[in-house]
Amino acid sequence: MKEAVFLILVLFISTFSNPIFAQQNNDKQENKPKVVIGIIVENMRPDYIQRYWNKFQDNGFKKLYTQGTVCSNIHLTQHIQNYATGTATLFTGINPSIHGIIDKTWYDRLKKSEIECTEDDYYFTVGADTDKGNASPVNLLSATITDVLKIYSQGKSKVFSAALNRETAIFAAGHAADGAYWFDIESGRMISSSFYISTFPDWVRIFNSENYAEMYSYRNWATLLPEATYTESLRDDYLLERGYFGEFNTFPHNVSKYIKRTEDFRPFKTTPSANLMMKDFTLKMLESEDIGTDEYTDFVTTVFSSMDYENGSFGPASLEMEDTYLYLDKYIGELIDSAEYRFGKENVLFFLVGNTSASYPVNYLKEEFNMPVDNFNIESAIALLTSFLNITYGDNKWIEHYSDLQVYFDHDLIKKNKLDLDEIRNVSSNFFNQFEGVQLSLTSHQLERGSSANGLLELLYKSYAKNRSGDFLFILKEGWQPIYKYKRVNYTDQSHIPLVFYGSQVQAKKIKRKYNGIDFVPTLSELLSIPIPDKCQGEIIDGVLDN
């Protein structure tokens, strides 16, 4: 009897369910977008949208936020917030402890030197006579969503990225991309690595011949609208605003003068003109690389900047920041309009995401709002720790390297002196815990034991990677920022980032439930009807796929 019932159920499922499932799957495949256009904005606070809303045009941020699905409570849960780690986390759906990009740089004990996360001398620059293209994603230990798309389509989907910063371009492109391009501050050109391309495309060569960086650097950065209308920001000559080189903080900005001081095109990256170049480069890419011409979904990511490394010199409340976003709104609108016209509105899926947020300057919070914040002098803290270790264990160079939020000891020296490494880690971590600006410090052997702890500890456990992270890691108190005597730091402790889906299959709605940056990949994978990466640690954002 049971066998008969089982056979009937099998026949029922075969006869009725499979066609239904097949039809649902076919519908899903037919509705998948021809093109995905990812828009990443570095150092973007979600509240910029609310602040500048009334000055935005209808076809840029307003279109995304009124016609798209807005995930308003997305956070990047990681120890060190920067565009390299943020992009790696977003595009793998995996925490830094596993994908390995714990920071933009880290100390390599074997090489006895600090390494940059994409540096790879096995490959060479394509597009300029510099070493800025000696790079690859080899240090990224996990597959990106773009890698999965390439594998799933058997290489037929086309994947490209373009960014002002090399790390963002590479981690958005992944390991299997057809091309990744970034801005070279030495030559002023868009370049790539031989990891991705062997022959430089003619269209990029022609684009570079227009000399965007040089051309726009000879034009002053002036406001898009009359300065008097920028009521959402501080006055242009605000006293506590540091400005370029600690002295130039008012419009118009003489970019060519700044470039003469740096002797490269770094200042160009901090202006709206650099975002204009990225928009034009992306449009040329969409036109020149046969994007959206077949049944396989193509994926193009473009990355804009919120003043790049000068973000902290002006801050979220500055007139420069508002002007940056008013220009950016214009460029995003032009990108959306062009893509929808070229491919058809129903065939394009856009997403807007930030790979980092931004903090308010310490002096602004202290002087204007009496917040209990300050700068944490890394060099002074290390000097005190060095003195303590010398008094305790004898004069020696016990600290091999340190960065903003982690410290590396000389393991060989400690072993040679027959000392207990874990003991030195413990006493040093405890020593750091006594500094006023330090919220918490934990040693590597504590973190290696693993934990599912929430709160502050979660940041450290999800970011610690053996053989890459330091011997102890620490977190600064909210609002505190690290400083050095001569080194500039683009630091933020803010984790809240924007995330919006707009276009194919997406309805206008707002999702307020809290999610993590690692949830972006499984959600986008479902929208593209491709497998969720096997090691992905995120979950699908509930509501994005509902029709």
End-to-end CA distance of the chain: 42
Helices (H) and strands (E) in the chain, counts: 22, 19
Domain boundaries, the chain: 1-31, 35-359+503-528, 375-483
User: Which of these CATH numbers, 3.40.50.300, 3.40.440.10, 3.40.50.1000, 3.40.720.10, describes 35-359+503-528?
Assistant: 3.40.720.10
Residue for token pair 């030195």: 424
Q: For residue 438, give the nearest of 412, 463, 473, 470 by alpha carbon.
A: 473
Phi and psi angles of residue 183, each rounded to the nearest 5 degrees, phi first: -85, 130
Return left, alpha or beta for 116; rule: phi > 0 is left, psi -120 to 50 is alpha, else beta. beta
Question: What is the DSSP pairing of strand 35-42 with strand 348-354?
Answer: parallel
Q: Quick one: fold of 375-483? A: Gyrase A; domain 2 (3.30.1360)
Phi and psi angles of residue 431, each rounded to the nearest 5 degrees, phi first: -60, -45
- Locate 26 and state its tokens: 């076919």
Residue-level pLDDT, tens digit, the chain, 547 residues: 333 333 332 333 233 334 433 344 444 556 789 999 999 999 999 999 999 999 999 999 999 999 999 999 999 999 999 999 999 999 999 999 999 999 999 999 999 999 999 999 999 999 999 999 999 999 999 999 999 999 999 999 999 999 999 999 999 999 999 999 999 999 999 999 999 999 999 999 999 999 999 999 999 999 999 999 999 999 999 999 999 999 999 999 999 999 999 999 999 999 999 999 999 999 999 999 999 999 999 999 999 999 999 999 999 999 999 999 999 999 999 999 999 999 999 999 999 999 999 999 999 999 999 999 999 999 999 999 999 999 999 999 999 999 989 999 999 999 999 999 999 999 999 999 999 999 999 999 999 987 666 677 889 999 999 999 999 999 999 999 999 988 888 899 999 999 999 999 899 999 999 999 999 999 999 999 999 998 999 999 999 987 6
- d(C-alpha 370, C-alpha 381), whole Å: 24
Query: What value does the CA radius of gyration of the chain take, rounded to a whole number of Å?
Result: 25
Number of CB atoms found within 10 A of residue 427's CB: 17
Is the distance from CB of 122 to CB of 141 less than 8 angstroms?
no
AA letter at 112: K
DSSP letter for 196, please: T
Is the distance from CB of 161 to CB of 102 less than 8 angstroms?
no
299, containing H or E segment: strand 298-305
- Report the half-sphere exposure of 237 (CA within 13 A, side-chain side): 1
- d(C-alpha 248, C-alpha 253), whole Å: 8
- d(C-alpha 71, C-alpha 63), whole Å: 15
